[in-house]
Amino acid sequence: MVAEKFVITVQNCPCRKLLGRSGTSLNSGEDDEFSWVACELGFGKGLFPELKIKHLIDRRRVAKSYMLALARGHAFSRALLYHLHGLPVALPASRPGVADILANLFRARLMIALRHANAWRRGWSEPLVETALYDAKRSGIELALEKISGLPSAEIN
């Protein structure tokens, strides 16, 4: 039922195809969109701390270049999702601290990556990390705003 509604939702709004990984894109959010559809159908969502998962991450996925591309893709996807669901999209006003960036980037889904991020971060000074991640996130949001401005109104919401 949810999957069928999700397919219809994506077919009726092709811009939703920009969510999720495709080719070399590190966009995300298709799972979040699936959750939005489930909630619209009356289903709930929740956090279940008793569930445990071990997420094995390849060394290449904690490289600086990958992490910056991931931050950009995540910011793009989050901005597009917000727009599609009537939430405000804005560029960040100031550069947040490293902890803020990582917390927002990985949320609960990639907490294990925080351990790897510490190892990755050792090679950079903290101001450089903050600047690079902030700039990647801002770039993703700017790209989303550009895509949003070019969408026909029928594809929005």
**109 vs 80, which has greater pLDDT?**
80
Q: What is the pLDDT of residues 62-105, one digit of tens each?
A: 888 888 999 999 999 999 999 999 898 888 766 555 665 566 56
Which structure tokens are listed for 70? 């991931």
Task: In whole angstroms, give the CA distance from residue 40 to residue 53.
Answer: 28
| CA–CA–CA angle 88, 90, 93 (5° rounding) | 140
Rg of the chain (C-alpha set)? 17
Q: Helix (H, G, I), strand (E, B), or coil: what is residue 119?
A: helix
Reported as type and span, the H/E element at residue 106 is: helix 98-106
Q: What average pLDDT is seen over the chain?
A: 79
**114 vs 129, which has greater pLDDT?**
129
Q: Map out the domains of the chain as residue ranges.
A: 2-155
Task: In whole angstroms, give the CA distance from residue 56 to residue 106.
Answer: 15
User: How many C-alpha atoms does 147 have within 13 Å on its Cβ side?
Assistant: 22
* Amino acid 150: pLDDT: 78
Q: Helix (H, G, I), strand (E, B), or coil: what is residue 37?
A: helix
Q: Are 84 and 16 in contact (CB under 8 A)?
A: yes
Confidence class of residue 18 from pLDDT cuts 50, 70 and 90? confident
Task: In whole angstroms, give the CA distance from residue 104 to residue 77.
Answer: 13
Instruction: Tell me how far apart the terminal alpha carbons of the chain are, to the nearest angstrom.
Output: 20
